[in-house]
Structure 1
Amino acid sequence: MNSEFIKGKLVRDKIPAIIMQDGRKPVYHQASEEEYRTKLLDKLVEEATEFISAPSEEELADIVEVLDAIIDLFGFDIEEIENMKMSKLKNRGGFRERLILCSVMDD
């Protein structure tokens, strides 16, 4: 079995069909709401780890796809998320100046 497909792993919707086209038989089930939530959050960690190991646009696209699914699952409003992002950028800044906080000294 290809190590790309790990038992119990959340996969993209067309993966079972792709496996069948390859002449193999996938064994899968549709996750309950609770299992989907858990596996989707696991998938976010997996994709972030893959990006850290080998940064690429493809790996970043996988993260964005997972984030889109999380937004949908939790019923978040993408416009509200963007507004929060812009507010934080305005009030606290972004990360473009590459600042590393080493300590905070009390007077």
Structure 2
Amino acid sequence: MAHEYDKLVRDRIPEIIEADGETPVIHAAEGTEYERRLREKLDEEIAEFYEDGRIEELADVLEVVYALCDLKGVSAERLEAIRAEKAEERGGFEERIVLDRVE
């Protein structure tokens, strides 16, 4: 029985499928297709985190973020430096402030 997925998957998924006795039909995404599929994957992983709130889903989100950084030529260390700069300039979320309105 064939199952259609048409989505970006982790590198070892094809071998896991083969180990289950099935045959994956795959291709490598290039250029704009790869970036588009990473963005779709990010949406998918965020939706999964919204659905169940598990920390493993946040790890999946982070994996996609790192892949996007790699695509853009930005290291995880540079991403962290940018995050820290923004936190220094604008703050984080520790105080849980909700802006209701500005009058």
Q: Could you say which residue in structure 1 is the equivalent of 2:17?
A: 19
Structure 1 CA distance for aligned equivalents of residues 57 and 43 of structure 2: 12
Structure 1 CA distance for aligned equivalents of residues 52 and 4 of structure 2: 20
Per mean C-alpha deviation after superposition, the further-off stretch among 74-83 and 12-21 is 74-83
User: In structure 1, which of residues 37, 40, 58 is the aligned counterpart of residue 38 of structure 2?
Assistant: 40
Structure 2 CA distance for aligned equivalents of residues 21 and 69 of structure 1: 26
Q: How does 1:84-103 map to 2 (within 5 A)?
A: 84-103=82-101
- TM-score, normalization: structure 1? 0.87
3-state SS in 1 of match to 2:64 = helix
Structure 1 CA distance for aligned equivalents of residues 89 and 59 of structure 2: 28
Structure 1 CA distance for aligned equivalents of residues 49 and 13 of structure 2: 21
Shift of 1:79: 3.0
Shift of 1:60: 1.0
Q: How does 1:5-84 map to 2 (within 5 A)?
A: 6-84=4-82
**Structure 1 portions without partners, runs of 5+:** none
Shift of 1:80: 2.8
Structure 2 CA distance for aligned equivalents of residues 17 and 31 of structure 1: 18
- TM-score, normalization: structure 2? 0.90
3-state SS in 2 of match to 1:12 = coil
Identity of aligned residues (%): 46
Structure 1 ranges of 4+ moved more than 3 A: none
Shift of 1:6: 4.8
